């Protein structure tokens, strides 16, 4: 949230939002992102075998590596909607493309919301004229608002990067909240930059960055049908297009990582019903994949997450999750810390439960686990688990 | 619960319970099961790498295939307690064995409760004399009460089996409630029979039976450090010991399966905070392992379980879980039913949400998924997911 004030819009991107009353009337629920010029574009998508129609459309278009517009709606996921779903997505893309006089293959569509209900085209179609007719009439923050579903605040992160004498911008927006889990922990994320990057460099940067951010957060272990991250680079900064072999690639990558990690953390902070952000750091593993497995077992444990919610330094549940994570574990070599307070030393209680319980009252909790078996580590972000999550999800459609 | 009235105790088993004030005073929290004669015994144990001391002790003793007594305490799991934990478990086994004049290797110890706190030996040791001195002073139902933790009712199932002209008995007791997931979904289960079985037949019967019952239930996806199922056969029925090749093996197996499945269902019914039992049936899979994977993905989904709690026929969450289960899935071949009402036909909404919502008000919900890819099927039991689960687990130690 603190980040929102510093959001800069990269050169050459314009925005529009409109009301299509998709779920209910009274809010802007459809948004348009337009690059003034053809941009290079990279994307990563849900690995769920059940992919929403807009995801399949994006995956088809992204083969060209080129894009001009992103059209997003909230309130309906257009998933499990069969041939009509794909037809509807294509129709929206064609309609907006025609109005903007661009090739439909340069249009990317994203949807989020309820699964299994066809899009209300009778309300969406009439909204496309004002949407396409009002480009520049909305801000980036308006887009962030329009794509929210159960999110309680808009999520944006922005970074600057010096290239030669010029200052480029990387700015991302995402929505998250529930149904968040690897792979692709956010449902929808759009990152825009005016920095010029060669297509393969852009793809590689995004893939690596997502693997360390959105793919390392978990809220409820459910992986959505619609998860999409798109990164558009329109090159209007005018730098020589960055390839993987130039020094600026590292600088771009670093700034991009800050954007994706920052957005991931905002997603976790806004996990449905969450009151705390939990960072699970596993150290001393034989390999990064072992460290990740262990960290995810802890981060996905309902019992760990309810204990943190209840300010209970119940490290036994962490040991238990480590034990079933599937990695080799020496109980008598394992140390566990809550916000730096060591509660387990060589597998045994360290009698610091009182101090740890006090520390758990903080809003940001770090669980550090050292399994002393090697030199690899990994971090996973999650949130605590509360009655409010149940309420939100028991009543979502009612 | 309805089963409790019909519980028969197999010949030659005696019981005792005592108060050791392990977690708090005021209830019997330690129990003893004694076979009058040396029995054959089989067991299955948690696959968690972090195994409680009593589990390791049982695994050591069970190699002989012989047993006389089971000593159980609730209120403390004696897990993550290091060398002292093993020493304490051995001390209890030795103490009780001495009093009963049996070999300590015939004594099996089981503990359930909080992880990471040493057993309060100063209160347990004095309770062992009355425990061992009052054999026959308690009923099987008293044992069922003594082993409860967050369970809200005792869990027992009994079956009779005709062998030649004689009537044998198989009776089981278990505790469950939270931290229930495969493998070994119950924390503690003891099954007693007066039927004579040869050791290998006993082991095989238990292993197969557990794989179709306790290993097919899930409450919160967490696998405990203490899960133990023990099956004691003392042979006092006097039949010729059953081997795998005689016809009575099938009859015994059938009765045993009814006991383990019945107990599994009681565990799910008493899932922490649960208001409904959910049976997930996946049909039409290419293999049983595919069917199981898909069924577990649905049964472990917090989003599915909260929707059922909220009487919301939100089948999109089921499609989503099937999609990330990791099995090949043709969305357009998938059918989904709630208690027989078809909500999804060939991947699309069947417009029966109103009827399905009404059906979801029942206390027993069957989700049937037919993926039309083959002839294999599997069933997994779970429960709905409620605010009460969060409350119980946020406040467990406080």
Domain boundaries, chain B: 2-269, 277-394
Residue A327, classed as helix, strand or coil, is coil
Name the E strands within chain A: 13-18, 30-45, 66-76, 107-114, 155-163, 166-175, 188-193, 228-233, 277-285, 335-338, 341-345, 348-349, 364-370, 376-383
Q: Using N-to-C axis directions, what is the helix angle for A121-133 and A82-100, rounded to 10°?
A: 20
Q: What residues of chain B lie within 8 A of the CB of A319, using their CB?
A: 50, 79-80, 115-116, 225
Question: What are the chain A neighbours of B224 within 8 Å (beta carbons)?
Answer: 320
| A332-356: average pLDDT | 94
Chain A contact for B302, CB < 8 A?
yes
- Check A331 against B80: CB less than 8 A apart: yes
Question: In chain B, which residues have their Cβ closer than 8 Å to the Cβ of A329?
Answer: 49-50
Size of interface A-B (CB pairs under 8 A): 206
Instruction: Name the DSSP letter for residue B106.
Output: G
Of B80, B221, B327, the CB nearest to A319: B80
pLDDT score of B151: 85
Alpha carbons A214 and B68: distance in angstroms, whole number: 54
Is the CB of residue B394 less than 8 Å away from at least one CB of chain A?
A: yes
Q: Cα–Cα distance between B131 and B71 in angstroms, integer?
A: 10
Please say if the pLDDT value at position A224 is more than 90: no
Tell me: pLDDT of A185 over 80.
no
Domains A2-269 and A277-394 share a fold: no
Contact B66, B198 (CB under 8 A): no
Tell me: the pLDDT tens digits for B159-170? 999 998 999 999
Annotated catalytic, B379? no
- What's the whole-number average pLDDT of chain A? 91
Q: Any CB–CB contact under 8 A between B361 and chain A? A: no
Interface of A with B in 104-143 (CB under 8 A): 114-117
Contact B314 A396 (CB under 8 A): yes
The owner of tokens 């929102």 is A4
Contact A394 B221 (CB under 8 A): no
Dihedral pair phi/psi, residue A7, rounded to 5°: -75, 120
Selection from A137, A142, A147, A63 nearest residue A105 by Cα:
A63
Residues in CB range of B17: below 8 A, 6 or more apart: B28, B30, B31, B32, B131, B138, B142, B143, B145, B146
B contact residues 167-226, partner A, Cβ 8 Å cutoff: 178-179, 220-225
pLDDT band at A215 (very low <50, low <70, confident <90, very high): confident
Res A397: pLDDT: 55
Q: E strands of chain B, at which residues? A: 13-18, 30-45, 66-76, 107-114, 155-163, 166-175, 188-193, 228-233, 277-285, 335-338, 341-345, 348-349, 364-370, 376-383
A24 compared with B172, residue with greater pLDDT: B172
- One of B186, B228, B260, B386 is an active-site residue; which one? B186
> Angle at which helices A247-269 and A199-211 pack, to 10 degrees?
40
Chain B residues whose CB is inside 8 A of the A183 CB are none
Q: In this structure, what DSSP letter does residue B86 have? A: H
Separation in Å, CA B146 to CA A31, B31, B55, B224: 60, 6, 19, 19
Q: Which of A46, A169, A186, A218 is catalytic?
A: A186
How many whole angstroms separate alpha carbon B127 and alpha carbon B27?
12
Q: What is the pLDDT of residue A268?
A: 87
A136-175 pLDDT, tens digit per residue, is 999 999 999 999 877 889 999 999 999 989 999 999 999 9
Question: Does the beta carbon of A76 lie under 8 angstroms from any beta carbon of chain B?
Answer: no
B72: nearest Cα among B49, B55, B50: B55
Please write the tens of the pLDDT for every residue from A360-389: 999 999 999 999 999 999 999 999 888 887
State which fold the B277-394 domain adopts. Answer: Ubiquitin-like (UB roll) (3.10.20)
The sheet with strand B277-285 has its strands ordered as B348-349, B341-345, B335-338, B364-370, B277-285, B376-383
B324 at interface of A, judged by CB pairs closer than 8 A? yes
Whole-number pLDDT of residue A1: 39
Q: Please judge whether B221 and A300 are an interchain contact, meaning their C-beta atoms are less than 8 angstroms apart.
A: yes
pLDDT tens for chain B, residues 1 to 398: 334 558 999 999 999 999 999 988 999 999 999 999 999 999 999 888 899 999 999 999 999 999 999 999 998 999 999 999 999 999 999 999 999 999 999 999 999 988 889 999 999 999 999 999 999 999 999 999 999 887 889 999 999 999 989 999 999 999 986 545 444 345 799 999 999 999 999 999 999 999 989 888 876 556 778 889 999 999 999 999 999 999 999 999 999 999 999 999 998 888 878 899 999 999 999 999 999 999 999 998 888 998 899 998 989 889 989 998 999 999 999 999 999 999 999 999 999 989 999 999 999 999 999 999 999 999 999 998 888 878 777 765 54
Q: What is the pLDDT of residues B277-310, one digit of tens each?
A: 999 999 999 999 999 999 999 998 888 998 899 9
Name residues 230-259 of chain B within 8 A of A (Cβ): none
Q: What is the pTM of this model?
A: 0.85
Q: Which of B116, B302, B317 sits opposite A221 (nearest CB)?
A: B302
Q: Which of the residue ranges A201-205, A212-216, B206-210 would you say has the lowest mean pLDDT?
A: A212-216
Find out if CATH 3.60.70.12 is the number for domain A2-269. yes
pLDDT at position A53, please?
Answer: 96
> Least CB-CB distance to A314: which of B50, B320, B396?
B396
Of A279-283, A325-329, B214-218, minimum mean pLDDT range: B214-218
Bridge partners, A128 (sequence order): none
Check B114 against A316: CB less than 8 A apart.
yes
CA nearest neighbour of A59 among A25, A110, A131, A3? A110
The 10s digit of each residue's pLDDT in A228-261 is 999 999 999 999 999 999 999 999 999 999 999 9
pLDDT, tens only, A37-53: 999 999 999 888 899 99
Q: Does residue A184 surpass a pLDDT of 60?
A: no
- When pLDDT is averaged across residues A318-330 and rounded to a whole number, the result is 92
More confident call, A179 vs A200:
A200
User: How far is the alpha carbon of A131 from chain B, nearest alpha carbon, in Å?
Assistant: 29
Instruction: Return the residue in B394, B395, B397, B398 with the most chain A beta carbons within 10 A, the one to mutate for interface testing.
Output: B394
């Amino acid at each position: 949230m603190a980040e929102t004030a510093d959001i800069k819009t990269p050169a050459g991107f314009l925005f529009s939002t409109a009301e299509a009353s998709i779920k209910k009337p009274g809010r802007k629920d459809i948004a348009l992102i337009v690059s003034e010029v053809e941009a290079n574009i990279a994307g990563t998508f849900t690995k769920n075998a059940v992919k929403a129609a807009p995801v399949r459309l994006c995956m088809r278009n992204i083969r060209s590596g080129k894009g001009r517009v992103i059209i997003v709606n909230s309130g309906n996921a257009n998933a499990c909607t069969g041939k009509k779903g794909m037809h509807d997505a294509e129709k929206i893309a064609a309609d907006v493309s025609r109005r903007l006089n661009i090739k439909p293959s340069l249009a990317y569509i994203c949807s989020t919301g309820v699964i299994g209900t066809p899009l209300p085209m009778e309300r969406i179609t009439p909204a496309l004229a004002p949407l396409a007719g009002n480009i520049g009439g909305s801000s980036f923050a308006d887009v962030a608002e329009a794509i929210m579903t159960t999110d309680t605040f808009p999520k944006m992160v922005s970074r600057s990067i010096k290239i030669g004498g010029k200052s480029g911008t990387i700015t991302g927006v995402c929505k998250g909240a529930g149904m968040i889990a690897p792979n692709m922990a956010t449902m929808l994320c759009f990152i825009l930059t005016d920095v010029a990057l060669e297509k393969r460099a852009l793809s590689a940067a995004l893939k690596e960055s997502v693997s360390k951010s959105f793919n390392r957060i978990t809220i409820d272990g459910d992986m959505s049908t619609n998860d999409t991250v798109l990164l558009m680079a329109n090159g209007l900064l005018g730098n020589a297009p960055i390839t993987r072999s130039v020094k600026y690639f590292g600088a771009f990558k670093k700034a991009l990582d800050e954007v994706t990690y920052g957005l991931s953390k905002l997603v976790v902070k806004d996990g449905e019903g969450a009151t705390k952000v939990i960072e699970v750091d596993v150290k001393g593993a034989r390999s990064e994949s072992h460290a990740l497995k262990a960290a995810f077992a802890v981060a996905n444990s309902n019992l760990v997450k309810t204990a943190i919610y209840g300010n209970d330094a119940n490290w036994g549940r962490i040991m238990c999750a480590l034990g079933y994570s599937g990695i080799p574990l020496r109980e008598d070599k394992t140390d566990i810390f809550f916000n730096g307070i060591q509660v387990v030393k060589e597998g045994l209680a360290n009698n610091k439960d009182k101090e740890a319980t006090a520390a758990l009252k903080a809003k940001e909790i770090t669980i550090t686990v050292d399994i002393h078996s090697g030199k690899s580590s990994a971090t996973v972000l999650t949130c605590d688990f509360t009655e409010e999550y149940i309420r939100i999800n028991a009543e979502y459609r009612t």
